Amino acid sequence: MHLKALKLHGFKSFADNTTLSFQPGVTAIVGPNGCGKSNIADAIRWVLGEQSAKALRGGKMQDVIFEGADTRKPAQFSEVALLLTDCEKQLGSEFHEIEIMRRVSRDGQGEYYFNGQPCRLKDIHKLFMDTGVGRTSYSIMAQGQIDQILSSKPEERRVVFEEAAGITKYKSQRREAMNKLALTEQNLARVSDVINEVARQIGSLKRQAAKAMRFKRLSFRLRHLALAHGHHQWLGLSTTLAGLEGCVAGLRGDAEARRSALDERTRALDEQKAARMALTQRVQDSQQAVFDLRSQKEQAENQSGLAQVKRTGLIERLDAGKDDMAELEMQLRELASQVDTGSQDKQMQLSLLGSSDAVFQDRNRELAVLEGELTRAEQQLSQEKFALLQVESTVARLRTDSSGLEVDARTSQNKYDQLSQDLAQLRSAVEGAASALAEASQKVQEARIEQSRSNNEAQAAQTALQEATHQFREAQRRLQEIDRGLAQKTARLKLLQQLQEKWEGFGEGAKALLQGRFTAVLGEQKFIPITQGLEVRPQYAKAVEALLGASVEAIAVSDLATAQKILGQLEADQVGSVCLQVSGLTAAAAAADGLPSFLSPATAMVANLDAAHPAASVLSACYLTDDLNGFLDFWRANPAFSFLMVATAKGDLVDRRGLIYGGHHKKPANSIVQREVDLRETGKAVVAEQAAHDEQRALIDRLNAVLAEAEATLEQKRKDVLAASQHAAALHTEEKNAQRSLDDASTRLQRMENELTNLKRDHDEALARLAKAQAQLAEVHAAVEAQKLKITGVETAISEKRADRDQKRESLAQARLELAERRQKVEVLDRGLTEMERRRVQLADLHDQRQIEIETWGEQIAALEQEGAGQRARAEEIAVTLAVAQENVENSRRELSAVEQEINRVESGLSTIRTEAEAAMTELSRNEVKAAETKARVQFLTEEINHEFQTDIALLDWKKLLWHADDEPEGMKDLDLDEEETEEGGPKTEDPAAAEAKPKRRKKKENKGDPTEADLAALETANWAEIKAEVDALRQRIGTMGAVNLVAIEEYSELKQRYEFLKTQSDDLTNAKAALLKAIDDINQTSLEQFKVTFEQIRKNFAYTFNILFGGGRAEIDLVTAEDPLESGIEIVAQPPGTKLKGITLLSGGQKTLTAVALLFALYMVKPSPFCLLDELDAPLDESNIHRFTNLLKQFVKESQFIIITHNKSTVAAADALYGVTMQERGVSKTVSMRFNAERGEAEALPTTIADSVRGAAPQAPA
């Protein structure tokens, strides 16, 4: 792949479309300073994606657009295209040629194109990744970048090495993978937070869903019963409404008949009134006609007078126009006389002008001939001076060469003497380096043995630390479990204590007594329930609760008098009831002797119960049994057995009255005895958990001390390992340095021996060249003097011609002045004749206009006379018509008076008919009101049903609605809700074990299906009062439920699905994270292996290219941190021959350039770039270093294409093609090209002479 062409349009100084075609090999670009050569380098860097305007020598990206010149407007956009060919292999592209283009407009909008299609900057970077081509790669090297590469931080030098190693794409992939990993971890954290939030929401929604299901069932029954009751009412009202509507129809017929008679008389009256209105209108029309005729008569008389006034005015204007025409005819005769006189003067001046012009032309031709001779003489002088300049340049070059050869001869002699002394010293240094190397190798072996021992000890310490860490974390996990258990039990204990302090479970009367509300009556006496402090065995709590029954809330009092006061006070305050246990009123204790094995006294189940305890008397004569059936058999066999009650552990109870209580027992919401048991057992559990917590905390403290000791030991071992590693590395470095010193000394010894021989030969050659240069210098001095004499003669001839030219210019100026004066006189006469002609035309036009106006005014006077006569005749005709119209008005008034008398007569007969019709309408309205009231009730009932239930009441069937009122609503979800949660009482608290044993789902009721005829007939006797009461009760019940979330059922179902979906997403993200971590490890391993191999090869190549360019010396590249090659900085060591510099910053400008070139070619030996652009890189180099540079450059021409911007003649001579950049037009760069023909030994240029474009920068035809 190589660069085929570069196209620029509007980029910096390249205003026009410019195309630079490149061929394989070396292309040099030359031109004067400031002509735009470096803009070509900037264009290549810009099209490859440079984003820094500062790097392009600008302040903002729009600065690359052509800003205009003296004769050019600014461009609106800048565009650069790069054409590459043979791209299939290196780019992996299906195209043989690709074109990359970049464009930026004045508004800052930038665009990239690949083969004419829009693309992203990322796509271009990806295309050239690992090819060596790029805006920051080693394919573009400018003079200012030398210091940047060599002086930058070690970490910043990695870019070119990574590009050469081909791991740029791996670094990019790793960066993308790290970004994805961070995003995955963020998503995983968010998903975990959402999962936790959803888990908290499920519990709340579960309760809301249960409430919503209860609401739906109640609403379903309410709907059916309310609709049935409403439909039954609607049917009764509809029947009543039908009867009322029939009655209204009969009354409406009678009222309509009476109304028809009234309407007929009314219509007759209306006809008479219409006739009266028509007559009235006719009278008004006649009066209007009289008025109009009067107006027309007055208008005709006025028009006749106006025509007479206009005629008088036109006669006056006609007389004035005739006077104007006579004046105009006299002015035209005077103007014709003046035109004749002016024409004669003009002819005379034209003849004089012709003679002056002939004189001027003759003198002008003579001056042109003389100036042509002077121009040729000046050109000859310029050529002679240029020839003198070339000869003087040759003299300066020969003088410089002679001085240089003299210095070279003396220098080579001094070097020969110094080298002989250095050679003897170097032989001694080689022997000392060999001895130092043997000693260093022995120390390295000893250090490696010590390093291995330290590593083993550190590994053992690491194992001990891991074991201690595992034990510590396990102890912490156990402590966390104990903390959670202790917190739960402590919270439960506090809850139970709070319930006990509030006396929850006791009646209102008992609470009032226990809370001390009756101290005013009973004094400060304290009361306690009989169950307080009982230590009932946990498995018998239900049995004791059953035996105590209502007395579980009993409160112990000292005597009957106190009990009577308490009962009296409760009755007076109406607080509630209470159960009291009076001390001393006790029954006989239960017999403990002679009982069967399955029967035992209840007092034996309470650990701390003695005879004085208030509960002892309550539990006396009560027994506990483990076998209810066994006791019943025993009682049947021994009917004389005396007992009060017998209970089982699960709460079944046998009363001495023959009552047996049993079956499944739900856990009471507020069990007083169980709370006492829970308080005691929970308190014991809290004490045990606290003891375990303290013991585990002590264990953690001990393990923490062990862990700290293990960490300290490991840290010390690691320090020992680091010290041993550093010592070994230092010794290894010393060994390498000793080996390197030995190798360098041996190499220098061989090289110095060769140099000694070469110096002798070079000294002899320099003396021969010096003698030849001095002979050439003498010859050239004579040529300079001859050329100066020739120039003096040409300058004398030019002075004489310039004096003659000045004399002829003065004569020509006088002729030009005379010619101008005569032209001015002719022009004045022309302007006067033109003005007189314009005035004559103007007066003739005015004369014609006055003639037309006189004719027009005569016609208008005749027309006005005719118009006045016509208007007077019209006024007389209108006066006759006006008399007839006034007579018609009087006749119409008499007819109107007769019609009004007839109307008064008809109106008097309508009164009786109207009274009878109004009575009929009153009866009709009364019945219509009743019907409307009934209809309103029907309508209200219909709208009420429609508003509440959104249904049409006429389509209902109350019997079917009653039949299906007990059905299950449709669409009820079968959710995993507890059975108690769907009951109307709401969720209840029960023991988890008991809840686990109960069914979790509420069984749906089976619907009864469609009713039969018999079922419908049975519903005729329905009790509508009870149905109405149930409807009201259901409404009240639903109202007390408060706000109900009807969508909770769907939300609960969706939330469960979302929870399961989020769990799946969390698992997927976890797997994706593991996959990304593995991919990053694989990328790191591949990059590491590839970078190590490439870096080692570049190290060897750098030493080789540095040696060639400097003729010796030492050059190395090393990793700053060898343990992390993928992130380590790169240190450059460069020591030219004979120096021991400690840093590359101490190198001179030329040495830095050669070092950068050596590094560039070292990279090229590993991975050549398709093309390389060097922008004045050779500027700091002297002639000898230029030759070394070009010789090394030629070795890489087969592998890569080089484009060099230069001013150096030797570099240009090494090029295969040449481009010249010039500014023929100020501010606008142009290019001309030339290619060297190796067979003919000369340059082949385009028709434009390239010497004019690049004069002063390169020879016209370098060898």
With contact defined as beta carbons under 8 Å apart, do 1218 and 1235 qualify? Answer: yes
Taking a C-beta distance cutoff of 8 angstroms, is the pair 1166, 1097 a contact? Answer: yes
Distance of alpha carbon 1135 from alpha carbon 323, whole angstroms: 120
Q: Which amino acid is at 628?
A: L
* Reported confidence tier of residue 104, pLDDT bands at 50, 70, 90: very high
To 5 degrees, how large is the angle CA 376–CA 381–CA 384? 125
Model confidence at 971, in pLDDT bands (50, 70, 90)? low
Beta strand pairing call for 555-557 and 77-85: unpaired
pLDDT at 983: 42
- Report which of 1212, 1178, 1196 is spatially closest to residue 27, judged by C-alpha positions: 1212
Confidence band, pLDDT 50/70/90 cuts, at residue 984: very low
Q: How far is CA 192 from CA 440, 817, 1064, in A?
A: 60, 103, 11
SS3 1173: strand
Position 666 scores a pLDDT of 59
| Residue 411 pLDDT class (50, 70, 90 cuts) | low
pLDDT level of residue 29 (50, 70, 90 thresholds): very high
CB atoms within 10 A of CB 431: 10
SS3 state at 1206: coil
CA–CA separation, 1204 vs 1198, rounded Å? Answer: 16
Model confidence band, residue 1085 (pLDDT cutoffs 50, 70, 90): confident
Q: Is 1184 annotated as a binding residue?
A: no
Q: Can you tell me the distance from the alpha carbon of 872 to that of 307, in angstroms, rounded to the nearest whole number?
A: 11
**Cβ atoms < 10 Å from Cβ of 378:** 15
Tally the C-alpha atoms within 13 A of residue 43's C-alpha that lie toward its C-beta.
30
Over 80: is that where the pLDDT of 985 sits?
A: no
Is 179 flagged in the annotation as binding? no
Helix (H) / strand (E) element for 632: namely helix 628-637
Residue 253 is labelled as binding a ligand: no
* pLDDT value at 128 more than 70: yes
Task: Note every long-range contact of 192-200, with CB atoms under 8 Å and residues 24 or more positions apart, other chains counting.
Answer: 192/1066, 194/1062, 195/1059, 195/1062, 195/1063, 195/1066, 198/1055, 198/1058, 198/1059, 198/1062, 199/1059
Residue 179 CA to residue 183 CA, distance in Å, equals: 6
Strand locations in 485-613 (E):
555-557, 580-582, 599-601
Least trusted range by pLDDT, from 331-340, 902-911, 1131-1140: 902-911
Assess whether pLDDT exceeds 70 at residue 852. Answer: yes
Listed residue (1224, 1209, 973, 1151) closest to 150, CA to CA? 1151
Residue 82 has pLDDT above 80, yes or no: yes
CA distance 735 to 443: 9
Confidence of residue 80 (pLDDT cuts 50, 70, 90): very high
pLDDT grade for 987, boundaries at 50, 70 and 90: very low
Predicted confidence band at 667 (pLDDT cuts at 50, 70, 90)? low
Is residue 930's pLDDT more than 50? yes
Tens digit of each residue's pLDDT (9 = 90 or more) over 1214-1250:
888 888 998 888 888 988 876 655 555 454 544 343 3
Best CA proximity match to 1161, nearest among 22, 138, 167: 138
Q: Is the pLDDT of residue 713 over 70?
A: yes
What is the pTM assigned to this prediction? 0.37
Give the alpha-carbon dihedral of 720, 721, 726, 731, to 10 degrees: 100
- Given this model, what pLDDT does residue 5 score? 93
CA distances, 178 to each of 186, 612, 1069, 1134 (Å) = 12, 80, 15, 37
pLDDT at 752 over 60: yes
- 478 in Cβ contact with 696 (< 8 Å): yes
How many angstroms separate the CA atoms of 758 and 745, rounded? 19
| More reliable by pLDDT, 218 or 768 | 218
- Contact criterion met (CB below 8 Å) for 542 and 651: yes
Domains of the chain: 1-139+1202-1263 (3.40.50.300), 524-571+579-669 (no CATH)
How much is the pLDDT for 79? 94
| Residue 404 marked ligand-binding | no
pLDDT value of position 1261: 34
290 has a pLDDT exceeding 60: yes
Please give the average per-residue pLDDT across 826-850, as a whole number: 81
pLDDT at 1262: 32
Strand, helix or coil at 142? strand
Spatial distance between the Cα atoms of 601 and 642, rounded to a whole number of angstroms: 12
Question: What number of other Cβ atoms are within 10 A of residue 364's Cβ?
Answer: 13
Question: pLDDT tens-digit profile of 1092-1130?
Answer: 888 888 888 888 888 888 888 888 888 887 777 777 778
The first and second tokens of residue 397, run together, are: 């070059």
Q: What is the rounded distance in angstroms from the CA atom of residue 389 to the CA atom of residue 8?
A: 37
Task: Identify the bridge partners of residue 1167 per DSSP, sorted by sequence position.
Answer: none
Residue 457 is predicted with a pLDDT of: 84
Pick 1244 or 877 by higher pLDDT.
877
Is 37 one of the annotated binding-site residues? Answer: yes
Q: Which tokens belong to 806?
A: 């000045």
Instruction: Please report, as a single letter, which amino acid is at residue 991.
Output: D
Residue 7's pLDDT is what?
A: 94
pLDDT of residue 920: 74
Residue 1248: its pLDDT value, please? 40
In the block, residue with structure tokens 């050469």 = 164
- Over range 504-513, report the average pLDDT: 73
Q: What is the pLDDT of residue 997?
A: 32
pLDDT value at 1000 more than 50: no
pLDDT of 396 reads 57
- Reported as a pLDDT band with limits 50, 70 and 90, residue 590 is low
Q: What percent of the chain has pLDDT over 70?
A: 85
DSSP 444-508: HHHHHHHHHHHHHHHHHHHHHHHHHHHHHHHHHHHHHHHHHHHHHHHHHHHHHHHHHHTTTTS-H
**C-beta of residue 634 within 8 angstroms of C-beta of residue 650:** no
Mean pLDDT, rounded, of the chain: 77
The percent of the chain in helix, strand and coil, each rounded to the nearest 5, is: 70, 10, 20
For residue 397, what pLDDT is reported? 58
87 marked as part of a ligand binding site: no
Tell me whether residue 171 is annotated as binding. Answer: no
- Give the C-alpha separation, 98 to 90, whole Å: 12
Which residues share a beta bridge with 20? 6
The reply to whether 211 sits in an annotated binding site is: no
Range 1029-1046 average pLDDT: 83
What is the predicted pLDDT for the residue at 981?
43
Give the model's pLDDT for residue 101: 95
pLDDT for the residue 670: 52
